[in-house]
Amino acid sequence: MEEWQRLIHETITKPEVLARYLDIDVEEVRAVSEKFPFRINPYYLGLIEEKGDPIWRQAVPDLKEIEGNGFEDPLAEEHHSPVPGVTHRYPDRVLFYVSHSCAMYCRFCTRKRKVGSPESVDDQAIEKGLQYIREHLEVRDVIISGGDPLLLPDRKIEYILTQLRAIPHVEILRIGSRAPVTLPQRITPQLCAILKKFHPLFLLTHFNHPREITPEATKACAMLADSGIPLGNQSVLLKGVNDDPQVMKKLVQKLLTIRVKPYLLYQADMVQGTEHLRTTIKEGFEVIKALRGFTSGLAVPHYVIDAPGGGGKIAIMPNPVVYFDDQKIVVQNYEGKLFTYETRNANHEQIPTGPRLGENSLPSRDF
Ligand SMILES: *Cc1c(COP(=O)(O)O)cnc(C)c1O
Ligand code: SF4
């Protein structure tokens, strides 16, 4: 048995077992897990330093999960599912669910309704999804998702990728996986040897806190990057985890050092059982404002809301446009200073740039 398989084998799913390692109220955890199961493997458990810390909050059931309200499927993913394992919302790309299991059940998960459900994604559902993609010539980008696709055995991952690569209109493959964070041991040389056969293949992972960037996770990302796989990160903004601007800055800076580009920062979805982890949009803006201009632009993710009801992802940011008309735009830079950019007339003939509005530097082109 490989190390990652052993870690899965030793995963804790019972409150009384968890109580041997953590200071929890067994009855509370039991009550929550009847509705929303938990799963914590020894590796991720080992990252917890104290009760209620940012790692704990992502992994350990909280009584608040069964007190609040919210929606089971806030993004109407099932409404946009032409066949059970596929969500086709955008013109040229689809989400393809190939697994319901994960190396850990994150307490904030948007697919809480599905993840950990006893029924696995069966081979027939995968075949139907593949068939749908084959028949839809407009699909040029497939996001292989779940659950966690990398929890499947190597041969199944290879099978799915082989089938998708054989479809001429599919240009790009992406794998969405939290394994580099919650079970980095899953990234083995054998897995990398499989993945690198299917380029262009991207991997989007999901670090939420700088403490998740351990030597193991660093090694996993290095192996993937050395296999030519561009790595991106999609974080969720979570109360008590990464809603502090300094924590987020540290996270995105550290991600670049392990060759992971921060891609998206999600406003937490309105999912049932996750309210206690949601922040306000204002807090999100404070986090983004602390990044833009203050650190490498490459480290700054797009802050997005996945519109409830199935509107898709919408990027939001504190508005840098102070004034705008046919002739000019007045914009504010990261320090709060104002700059004007003007066009002389409707032909967009530009006037020379220079100090405006009493400012002493060139117009900012940062936005
Ligand atoms: C996020 C998402 C995608 C991918 O969107 P990008 O902007 O291309 O990253 C595709 N389909 C669905 C349903 C999604 O939620
Ligand atoms: S790894 Fe992803 S899909 Fe699985 S529980 Fe966590 S957030 Fe949900």
CA of 342 to the centre of ligand 2 (A): 47
Could you tell me which of 191, 120, 121 has the C-alpha nearest to residue 158? 191
Fold of 86-315: TIM Barrel (3.20.20)
What residue spans in the chain does CATH classification 3.20.20.70 cover?
A: 86-315
**Active site members:** 89-90, 93, 102, 106, 109, 111, 269, 306, 313
Range with the poorest average pLDDT among 10-24, 219-233, 340-354: 340-354
Range with the poorest average pLDDT among 203-212, 245-254, 352-361: 352-361
Name the closest-CA residue to atom 7, ligand 2. 109
- In angstroms, the CA 137 to CA 252 distance is 36
CA of 295 to the centre of ligand 1 (A): 26
Q: State the pLDDT at residue 272.
A: 86
The 8-class DSSP code of residue 35 comes to: H
Residue 113 has pLDDT above 70, yes or no: no
Ligand nearest to C-alpha 305: 1
CA of 148 to the centre of ligand 2 (A): 7
Q: State the pLDDT at residue 110.
A: 80
Q: State the pLDDT at residue 309.
A: 83
Residue 362 has pLDDT above 90, yes or no: no
CA of 296 to the centre of ligand 2 (A): 28
Contact 314, 321 (CB under 8 A): no
Q: Which residue type does 190 have?
A: Q
356 vs 75: which has the higher pLDDT: 75
Q: How confident is the model at residue 136 (pLDDT cuts 50, 70, 90)?
A: very high
Tell me the average pLDDT across 344-366: 50
pLDDT > 70: percent of the chain: 90
Phi first, then psi: give them for residue 85, nearest 5 degrees: -90, 10
Q: State the pLDDT at residue 74.
A: 72
Q: How confident is the model at residue 256 (pLDDT cuts 50, 70, 90)?
A: very high
pLDDT > 90: percent of the chain: 81
- In angstroms, the CA 231 to CA 46 distance is 25
Q: How confident is the model at residue 359 (pLDDT cuts 50, 70, 90)?
A: very low
Q: How confident is the model at residue 353 (pLDDT cuts 50, 70, 90)?
A: low
Q: Is 41 in the pocket of ligand 1 (CB under 6 A)?
A: no
Name the closest-CA residue to atom 7, ligand 1. 313
Residue 366 has pLDDT above 50, yes or no: no
Tell me the average pLDDT across 68-81: 75
Q: Output the average pLDDT for the chain.
A: 92
Pocket of ligand 2 (CB under 6 A): 102, 105-106, 109, 111, 115, 146-148, 178
Q: How confident is the model at residue 367 (pLDDT cuts 50, 70, 90)?
A: very low
Tell me the average pLDDT across 33-58: 97
Contact 126, 160 (CB under 8 A): yes
Ligand 1: which of 90, 132, 145 to mutate, most ligand atoms within 8 Å of CB? 90
Pairing of strands 93-97, 141-145: parallel
Q: Is 292 in the pocket of ligand 1 (CB under 6 A)?
A: no
Q: Is 95 in the pocket of ligand 1 (CB under 6 A)?
A: yes
Q: State the pLDDT at residue 358.
A: 45
Do you find a cis peptide bond into 91, omega within 30 degrees of 0?
A: no
Q: How confident is the model at residue 227 (pLDDT cuts 50, 70, 90)?
A: very high
Q: State the pLDDT at residue 348.
A: 54
Tell me the average pLDDT across 279-296: 96
Q: Is 87 in the pocket of ligand 1 (CB under 6 A)?
A: yes
The per-residue DSSP string of 64-87 comes to GGGTS--BSSTT-TTTT-SSTTEE
Tell me the average pLDDT across 192-206: 98
Q: How confident is the model at residue 217 (pLDDT cuts 50, 70, 90)?
A: very high
Q: State the pLDDT at residue 119.
A: 60
Q: State the pLDDT at residue 117.
A: 63
pLDDT digits (tens, 9 = 90+) for 264-278: 999 999 888 899 999
Q: How confident is the model at residue 351 (pLDDT cuts 50, 70, 90)?
A: low
Q: Is 302 in the pocket of ligand 1 (CB under 6 A)?
A: no
Burial call 317-329: b when 16+ CB within 10 Å, e when fewer = eeebeeeeeeeeb
Ligand nearest to C-alpha 111: 2
Strands (E), the chain: 86-90, 93-97, 141-145, 172-176, 201-205, 231-237, 260-267, 302-307, 312-315, 321-324, 328-332, 338-342
Q: State the pLDDT at residue 361.
A: 43
Residue 360 has pLDDT above 50, yes or no: no
Name the closest-CA residue to atom 3, ligand 2. 147
Q: State the pLDDT at residue 16.
A: 98
Ligand nearest to C-alpha 142: 1
Residue 293 has pLDDT above 90, yes or no: yes
Ligand nearest to C-alpha 58: 2
Tell me the average pLDDT across 339-346: 81
Q: State the pLDDT at residue 343.
A: 81
The ligand 2 atom at the shortest distance from the C-alpha of residue 146 is 3
The ligand 1 atom at the shortest distance from the C-alpha of residue 80 is 13
Q: Is 227 in the pocket of ligand 1 (CB under 6 A)?
A: no
In angstroms, how far is CA 95 from the centroid of its own chain?
14
